[in-house]
A and B are shown apart, each in its own frame.
Chain A
Amino acid sequence: MVFETVQSMQGNDQKQALLGLKMLVKLAQLGKPFNQSADTKAVHEAFDPFYCDVTKKNETVWRYRHGDIRILFYYAADKVVLLTHTLPKRTDKLSAKDIKVAKQAVIDFLTASRSAAGLQWIE
């Protein structure tokens, strides 16, 4: 979905999104939370933790900022980082729609990971 979102972006937003994704991917090499390597202002919680019916506990979506681009992600088990949403954002507050998209991506991922078939990684 993030790919489609980036695809749908225009001009400089798309460019910045690609650059932001590149930085995030590089920092992921560390295998540690991004706030250990990135500037603290660049990485923090995207919005208040939300109760997830799948895990029966609060889950947190984080955000990485690269210029006007916000990349939302979730730390899943086994050092998996789920990219939940990418958006250009020029105001302080995330829209309810964007929050909903990010939450739903987490729920879909967790639901799939707990299904009988499990997650299937495609090479």
Chain B
Amino acid sequence: MEHKPLFGELIAAHEGLAEELKAVDVAADLTLLLHHTGKSRADLARALGWSRARVTQVLSGHENLTVQTIAAVTKALGYTFDAVFRKTGAPAAIQLWEAQATLALDMVDAPDLQEWMSRKTMKPMAGRFAGAMEFVHFDTQLDSSNQDEIFLGEACAA
């Protein structure tokens, strides 16, 4: 089954958009890290000596964040970060919150889980279920390992 780009052509039509999408990725990951730590935006602003507006701007995905900004935010949250490289199309490294979500799912009572997954609307997801993170964009499914594919992978006819 060959997957054609869903938004690939649209992205390619905009010069520099692929890089801007990466910037959004980073901002979203910082947002998810903030949530993972259980801290609020106000907490982060206080820790950094920033205004709430500055925190909002940094986490909005509208800004091309510098390494210094990313480092400052992660440090304020008690973390650090690395640049991890992978082949194009290869799965992204699992983030802290993704591992936690999978663990949480493992702790769900099996009968309930089976009942939940056997629902008509969930059946097709069961085979690829890897965590408590599903997202459906009409006919494209998302889980923690393929979120990039929603932009790159188009639903194919059977």
Contacts and interface: CB of A to CB of B under 8 A. Distances in A.
Same complex for A and B? Answer yes
Contacts, number: 137
Interface residues of A, number: 41
The 9 A-B residue pairs whose C-beta atoms are closest, nearest first, are A26-B28, A118-B120, A28-B135, A121-B124, A122-B155, A122-B139, A22-B24, A31-B133, A15-B14
A101 interface: no
Given A30-B32, A39-B41, A123-B141, A25 B135 contact: yes
Interface stretch (A44-52, A53-61, A76-84, A90-98): A76-84
Interface of A: 1-3, 6-7, 14-15, 18-19, 21-23, 25-31, 36-39, 41-42, 66-67, 77-83, 113, 118-123
Given A31-B101, A39-B59, A80-B136, A26 B10 contact: no
B54 interface: no
Nearest to A83: B137
Contact of A7 (B10, B20, B125): B10
B50 interface: no
Interface of B: 1, 6-7, 10-11, 13-14, 17, 20-21, 24-25, 27-29, 31-32, 34-35, 41, 56, 59-62, 95, 97-98, 101, 116, 119-122, 124-125, 132-139, 141-142, 144, 147, 150-151, 155-158
A82 B41 contact: no
B121 A113 contact: yes
B136 A27 contact: no
A25 B17 contact: no
B125 A121 contact: yes
B151 A37 contact: no
